[in-house]
Amino acid sequence: MDFSLSEERKMLQETVARFFESNYQNINKRNENVNLPEGFCKNFWKESAELGIISALVLPKFGGLGGDGDDISIIFELIGKSLCVEPFLASGVLSSTILSSVSNPNLDLINQIVEGKLLIAFAHTEMNNRYEDSFIENSASLKDNKWCLNGTKSFVINGDTANKVIVSARIDGDVNDKAGIGLFLVDNDQIKNRSYNTVDGYRASELIFDTTKAELIARDNEALSCIIKANSAGALALSAEALGIMETCFNLTLDYLKTRNQFGKSIGSFQSIQHRMVDMMLEIEQVKSAVMLASSTYRSDEKTRDKNISAAKNLVGRVGKLVAEETIQLHGGIAMTWEYSASHYAKRLIMIDHLMGDSDYHRDRFKLLSASNL
């Protein structure tokens, strides 16, 4: 299997890399964007749309220019390297995936996302839901022929700045049933919103629904299929982002070891330190291979897609912890300072393991999907 990038994707990679580097020159610039009222830079988001970066996350038949696993991985690996905080995951991947996967795709909303004019968040996570696709307590009911939602969604990424929110809710059945699920589109100004900053500098919200009017966009098997596909796309994007962070952490650490002197020579010359760096490099190479495989099979059958994505996300969680710890320990005290970038990369790397399923969840999911193929 040939994993080399096409000429078009090489151009995409080079263009996006230059754009991110020019706008995220250092950690101070990133911190400025984090402290903006929206939690990200609106001008950067607009310029990203004009450059076609958001479009590269959407299939051509829905108005985009890419949308394959390789496109997602290229962009999110660069997002990881720059620690970009703009809502590429929430709006560009999760929401656009759902809107393009329903039986009647809303091309107008997708085009507005691609053009950077509309932000949509995906609200699926709940307090009692441990990453499961079908566990939903939030309820939906018909009242005067209009759908109304009741309940709470927790940790909705960019839920405070989104114009609209796609919400999963249970129409009927028990909380674990695969049937009876609906996906609804809700205007954000109709929702009670409690926003907060996450430990890694991003923005999330708790959304409370109290007989909130909503528009049904999918239900039952179609709705569950859309949720699974969106969560898989999100897990792939996060895996690629983590790979970019790992590579940056390795390079930061290597540069530091070459310049930090102790006992009259650089600490990178000590054999024990070299062994730790080699181990870290080998683990990162394994993650790179897993992400490449998951990207290349993203458009294949669902079981193959989800199995390979779970394998990558599981590895990302385990290796990410190792890389974060080694980066901090090999740097020493300087790695814990706000002005130095290492701590920010390490925090994001640890947080990624808890988004879209942690390493334990994806290990069990991989085993289940592998057994079902026997």
pLDDT in tens, the chain (374 residues): 556 677 778 888 898 999 999 888 788 889 999 999 999 999 999 999 999 999 999 999 998 988 899 999 999 999 999 999 999 999 999 999 999 999 989 899 999 999 999 999 999 999 988 899 999 999 999 988 899 999 999 999 999 999 999 999 999 999 999 999 999 999 999 999 999 999 998 999 999 999 999 999 999 999 999 999 999 999 999 999 999 999 999 999 999 888 887 777 787 667 888 899 999 999 999 999 999 999 999 999 999 999 999 999 999 999 999 999 999 999 988 888 888 899 999 999 999 999 999 999 999 999 999 986 55
Residue 272 pLDDT: 86
Instruction: Produce one character per residue of 118-153: b if its CB has 16 or more CB atoms within 10 Å, e if not.
Output: bbbbbbbbbeebebbbbbbbbbbeeeeeebbbebbb
CB distance 27 to 339 below 8 Å = yes
Instruction: State which amino acid sits at residue 288.
Output: K
For each of the domains in the chain, give its residue range(s) and CATH number, in order of start: 7-114 (1.10.540.10), 120-220 (2.40.110.10), 225-372 (1.20.140.10)
Q: Are 113 and 100 in contact (CB under 8 A)?
A: no
Q: Which letter, b or e, does each residue of 47-85 get, where b requires 16 or more Cβ atoms within 10 Å of its Cβ?
A: ebbeebbbbbbbbeebbbbbbbbbbbbbbbbbbbbbbbb
Q: pLDDT value at position 114?
A: 95
φ, ψ of residue 211 in degrees (nearest 5): 50, 50
Q: How far apart are CA 48 and CA 55, in angstroms?
A: 9
Return phi, psi of residue 52, to 5°. Answer: 95, 15
The long-range contacts involving 128-132, CB below 8 angstroms and separated by at least 24 positions, are 128/175, 130/361, 131/356, 131/357, 131/358, 131/361, 132/176
Task: Find tokens 């022929």 and name the residue.
Answer: 145
Question: How many CB atoms within 10 Å of residue 222?
Answer: 16
Q: Residue 2's pLDDT is what?
A: 57
Residue 58: strand, helix, or coil = coil
Pairing of β 139-143 and β 146-157: antiparallel
Could you say which DSSP state residue 172 is in? Answer: S
* DSSP for 42-53, written as a single string: HHHHHHHHHHTT
Phi, psi angle pair for 331, to nearest 5°: -80, -35
Helix/strand/coil for 312: helix
pLDDT at 338 (0 to 100): 85
Q: Which two tokens stand for residue 222?
A: 């179609």
Would you state the structure tokens that stand for residue 311, as one six-digit string? 């394998």
User: For residue 56, what pLDDT is reported?
Assistant: 94
Q: What is the 3-state secondary structure (H, E, C) of 271-292?
A: HHHHHHHHHHHHHHHHHHHHHH
- Reduce the DSSP state of residue 361 to 3 states and report it: helix
**Does residue 169 contact residue 216 with C-beta atoms inside 8 Å?**
no
Amino acid at 221: N
The size of the chain, in residues, is: 374
Phi, psi of 210 (to 5 degrees): -130, 90
